[in-house]
Amino acid sequence: MPLKTGKKPFKMHAKTLFFEKYAGDAIPEAPEKVYWGYKVPEDQWGMLGNDQKGDCVVAGCMHMDMNWTAHTGTMRTYTEEQAFEIYDRLSPDDSGLVVTDFLNFWQTEGFFGSKILGWAQFNHANPKRFNQVDWLFGGVATGVQIPASAQDQFAANEPWSLVPDSPNDGGHFIPGFNYGADGRKFVTWAKLQAALNDWLAAYVDEAYGVISEAWFDTVDVAPNHFNKDALWADLKAL
């Protein structure tokens, strides 16, 4: 496989919050389109070593922090060496990482000045919920079981679409920042990659809104009926 993946299977974590607790039926629908990724120049995302090691979870979370800070202040940037410093510590045998384990690390220890408050799982099979989380949290931390066909489509600059009987190349972590009627765009392997809705329905196996105080309490997107106060109280109790 020319490019690496590295997401281990989904694991529930005791600190995982649930988006539906804070967003009832009254929460307005998100905009039809969101393009949070525009603040980061496409040539600055960086591979962050995911062509050499299975550090997609580390690289993807660094990409999320790049995007938030690009919107709310001075964009933080990261190097391959920094990604490997964290990844090699947590996965010395290069066997990949569990997404929720790394989110817990990000919350408790952080990396290179970046820390989060927590994360909220949601019903990723519901496109409206997916949109709401993307809109509110400045992106979605997304885990997929990626088919081998995705490598060929990526190399050809084609959107990820369903290819019958394509074998599974394993778990991959891809933060998403943009969506529209036809699908979503994710940052992976140093660039933005489009994925069509039927592909997403087939391959996404976990997704989270990652709660960055700089983003969520600074960017004015939280609509009425979203219980931010209850969310803050639960985060303080973690």
- CATH number of the domain residue 111 falls in: 3.90.70.10
Mean pLDDT for the stretch of residues 142-146: 98
Long-range CB contacts (< 8 A, 24+ apart) of 10-14? Answer: 10/98, 10/99, 10/100, 10/143, 10/205, 10/206, 11/98, 11/100, 11/101, 12/100, 13/100, 13/101, 13/103, 13/104
Cβ atoms of 65 and 41 closer than 8 Å: no
- Does residue 157 or residue 221 have the better pLDDT? 157
Is 5 a domain residue?
no
The answer on pLDDT for 152 being more than 70 is yes
Is 95 a domain residue?
yes
The answer on pLDDT for 34 being more than 70 is yes
pLDDT more than 90, % of the chain? 76
Which residues share a beta bridge with 121? 18, 208
pTM: 0.93
Is 237 a domain residue?
no
The answer on pLDDT for 35 being more than 80 is yes
Per-residue confidence at 221, pLDDT binned at 50, 70, 90?
low
Is 19 a domain residue?
no
In the chain, the number of structural domains is 1
Question: Domain limits at 81?
Answer: 30-231
Mean pLDDT of the chain: 91
